[in-house]
Amino acid sequence: MNHKNDFLAHHAPWGSYSSFILGNVGMGGGFALSDVHSPNQSVYIAYRRGDELPFVFPFLGAATVKAEDFDATAANKDQPRTSRVLQPEEFERTYKWASDTWSHGGLRFSVLAPFGEVPELSGLSDLDRKLATCPCVIATLEFDNSGSTEPARVLFAMDGISRAFEVDTAGRLLGAAYRRSWGFAAKAGKNVSELQTFDAMSQTFTPESAFPANKKQHRLGGAGGLILEVAAGEKKTLVIALGAYQDGLVTSGQEASFAYTNDFPSLESALEFALEHSDHYIELAKKRDAELEASTLDANQQFLVAHATKGYLASTELLRRANDGQLLWIVNEGEYRMMNTLDLTIDHLFWEFRYHPWTTANVLEHFLDRYAFTDSLKLGGAGGISFPHDMGVSNAFSPPKESSYEVADLTGCFSHMTMEQLLNWVLCATCYGWKYDRAWLKQHADALRQCRDSIFTRDADGDGVMDMDTARVGTGMELTTYDNVDEALGRARSSTYLASKTWAALELLAACLESLGDDVTAVRERAASAVKTIVGYSQSRGGALPPHLDEAASKTDFVMAIPAVEGLVYALTNDIAIPQELQDVMRQHLEASFKRGCITERGGWQLSSGSHNTWMSKIFLNQFVAEQLGLKTEARAHEEHVRWQRHGSRLTGPTDQVASSDGAPIGSKLYPRLVTNVLWLEDAKQS
């Protein structure tokens, strides 16, 4: 069993698609750019008091880690130990909403990745825009030597650098960088110095080593860092900015660059800005940390919210399109790097509505302008408007009307999700317009009407449940977002999960179109049909919903699947009335699911009784729905889910698809989608 302090975390500036990664014992960390994987380069956080052996945190990459540092018994007895690598039980790690802090002895190293509301950039002052988009996070390196009679030396350094800053910035900054791409810096000052060398530890702490102590600058060295001297009896804090810089055009298909490059001409300028405004970032991080701590969430929930937040931020990307200057908001799909996957967009909705609803509108318009298509149905006839799964992958925009994910002629993973994405666009658009922007709703009335018609077309028999696959599937079959859980959740046609989303989409469409003066009788009737169909199948199964609302499947498929209730979240967060009978059916279904295979022995949630692959983002969302229906999640569920993330998936950060036995990652690693748990805070706010 690994230690609770041993898990990967992303620390990411908003919209920069870059993160500083740290946390796995024995594995290093470092910067990921247009990616979320750790480079596993050594990160040295170390100190020495007087002549004692230095302590170093165990974030040493494969290239630099030595067996004897971890295990004195494995040491070559002829080789003196040169440092003491801290074991995870020896140090403290405090993981908060906007910070991550490691402490040992007098040392306290915090990485702060603050976040908050970001209004539309066009309405911001230059300073506020730069504060919001600066591609840096802040670290503080504190050392309390007040109780000591010996001076202390403290090191923060990283492997993988190629240059140092002092000379290139005319002495203003100290620190190091890899080319023009990423780096870290502190303001020059008394008791601080810059290091570039082959071996950060021996250069800093072993004056008798190959390089004399006064030679801190060897430009061939691949390790760079900052050294802080703390006299006996003193307490000092060094503020460090850590940042990444991706210059020029970074995408294909549509050419775009990072929005921040307009304001920051270089890595150095961004780091310098972050240092000048470090108070702002430190205060903002404190505010967020305090806010989560003051919430009604228990400690486990707080961990899950903090973890999800860091994963979301790491995948965010704010671009400016080259041909017209248009800002483009992208949330990349964790390890998969797909861009604005629409079935993730809808799960990021609650987060974005809390902090920057305009980014949702940006994505919706981008889908409408470039990716919307009109299809035919597999069984013949016109389909209607819908949207592809995503906008591309790995900074390559797909061609108009196409995703990177979907392929024809398949019945499983990689098939089309046309109905699901249609519902996702409608739900995002109506939720956004209804709550935040009625004018936007009016502007997009025609698109909403086309979507209404398209939903109708795909429900040929009028029972409120999708029954028509798009012709895009070829010989294959349509899927839902639950593409690889099991067929109970994967197949789109008659999906109970999609039925509840269809009901919600119709209710929100009705509300919105009615507000625009449309006659929405047919829409309301279709929503009522959906309720009737759902309720009908519930009665025929004694209070539990089958995963698919069709005669054949309901008699043979006894899998219980929690996401049947998922669609209710859009009604619950928008004050749309849920018919009492639908509430009752959904509550009964959940109760039955909990009893029949959807709660593990240790209390974890398993989305489908037929699969041990369970998705954290969807658990969190459905927990919110369940609580609203009066079914409070047990505290031990949160405890188990923390165990999954903190232990089972410790190497893969926030991980969506995990094994319900132990939380081992199955897929969707290093993922942004878990941020659905911000719903818990909305809930807390209301109560």
Give residues in contact with its own copies (CB under 8 A): 34, 162-163, 167-168, 177, 179-180, 211-212, 215, 218-220, 247-250, 252-253, 266, 336, 338, 392-396, 398-399, 402-405, 407-409, 414
Give SS3 for 249: strand
Nearer to its own copies, 221 or 464 (CB): 221
Note whether 115 and 16 are within 8 A (CB): no
**177 vs 508, which CB is nearer to its own copies?**
177
Cβ burial, residue 436 (10 Å; 0-12/13-18/19+) = middle
Q: How far is the CB of 664 from its own copies (least distance, A)?
A: 22
> Which residues are CB-contacts of 536 (< 8 A; sequence separation ≥ 6)?
none
Q: Which residue has the tokens 């999609």?
A: 498
Distance CA 434, CA 442 (A): 10
Per-residue exposure over 138-164, b if at least 16 CB sit within 10 Å of its own CB, e if not: bbbbbbbbeebeeebbbbbbbbbbbbb
For 266, the token pair is 């270089």
DSSP percent split of the chain into helix, strand, coil, nearest 5:
40, 20, 40
> Which residue number, 397 or 605, has a Cβ lying nearer to its own copies?
397
Closest distance of CB 607 from its own copies, Å: 24
Shortest distance in whole angstroms from residue 222 CB to its own copies: 9
Spatial separation of the C-alpha atoms in residues 428 and 624, rounded to whole Å? 18
> Smaller CB distance to its own copies: residue 272 or 459?
272
Cβ proximity to its own copies: between 400 and 543 the closer is 400
Query: For its own copies, which is the closer residue by CB, 189 or 399?
Result: 399
Shortest Cβ 278–its own copies spacing (Å): 23
Q: Between residues 220 and 552, which has the closer beta carbon with respect to its own copies?
A: 220
For the CB of residue 219, give the shortest distance to its own copies in the complex, in Å.
4
Q: CB-wise, 394 or 574, nearer to its own copies?
A: 394
For residue 126, the minimal CB distance to its own copies (Å) is 23
Provide the minimum distance between the beta carbon of 253 and its own copies in the complex, in angstroms, as a whole number. 6
Q: Which of 12, 44, 6 is nearest to 24 (CA)?
A: 6
CB-wise, 115 or 165, nearer to its own copies?
A: 165
- b/e burial code for range 254-270 (CB count within 10 A of at least 16 → b): bebbbbbbebbeebbbb
**Helix (H) or strand (E) run with residue 18 in it:** strand 18-22
Q: What is the dihedral of CA 436, 442, 448, 449, to 10 degrees?
A: 150
Nearer to its own copies among residue 408 and residue 631 (C-beta): 408
Question: What's the min distance (Å) between Cβ of 264 and its own copies?
Answer: 13
Q: Are strands 84-85 and 55-56 parallel, antiparallel or unpaired?
A: parallel
End-to-end CA distance of the chain: 38
Tell me how far apart the alpha carbons of residues 344 and 654 are, in angstroms, rounded to a whole number. 14
Q: Which is nearer to its own copies, 70 or 211 (CB)?
A: 211
Give the nearest distance from C-beta 432 to its own copies in angstroms.
Answer: 28
Q: Are 486 and 559 in contact (CB under 8 A)?
A: yes
Q: What is the DSSP letter of 599?
A: B
Q: Hunting for tokens 């050392």 — which residue is that?
A: 143
* Closest distance of CB 250 from its own copies, Å: 7
| Structural element, H or E, at residue 682 | helix 678-686
Q: How far is the CB of 181 from its own copies (least distance, A)?
A: 10
Using H for helix, E for strand and C for coil, what is the string for 277-294?
Answer: CHHHHHHHHHHHHHHHHC
- Measure the CA angle with vertex 281, ends 263 and 313; round to 5°: 75
Residue 398 burial (C-beta neighbours within 10 Å; 0-12, 13-18, 19+): buried
Q: Which two three-digit tokens encode residue 38?
A: 């750790």
Find, among 352, 349, 422, the residue nearest to 621 by Cα: 349
Residue nearer to its own copies on the CB measure, 38 or 254: 254
218 or 612: CB nearest its own copies: 218
Q: Is 40 helix (H, G, I), strand (E, B) or coil?
A: coil
Q: Least distance from C-beta 225 to its own copies, angstroms?
A: 16
Amino acid identity at 91: F
Which CB, 223 or 530, lies closer to its own copies? 223
**Which CB atom, from 267 or from 506, has the smaller least distance to its own copies?**
267
**Residue (418 or 606) nearer to its own copies, CB:** 418
Q: How far is the CB of 392 from its own copies (least distance, A)?
A: 7
Cα-flanking dihedrals φ and ψ of residue 678, to 5°?
-65, -20
Task: Kindly tell me which of 148 and 203 has the beta carbon lying closer to its own copies.
Answer: 203
Q: How far is the CB of 218 from its own copies (least distance, A)?
A: 5
CB of 404 to its own copies, least distance (A): 4
630: left (phi over 0), alpha (psi -120 to 50) or beta: left
Residue 27 phi/psi, 5-degree rounding, is -130, 0
Say how many C-beta atoms besides its own lie within 10 A of residue 599's C-beta: 20
Residue 22 C-beta: closest distance to its own copies, Å = 24
Q: What is the H or E stretch that residue 316 is in?
A: strand 316-321
The minimum distance between CB 338 and its own copies, in angstroms, equals: 7
- Write out the DSSP string of 132-195: HH--EEEEEEEEE-TT-SS-EEEEEEEES--EESTTTTTTSEEEEEETTTEEEEEE--TTEEEE
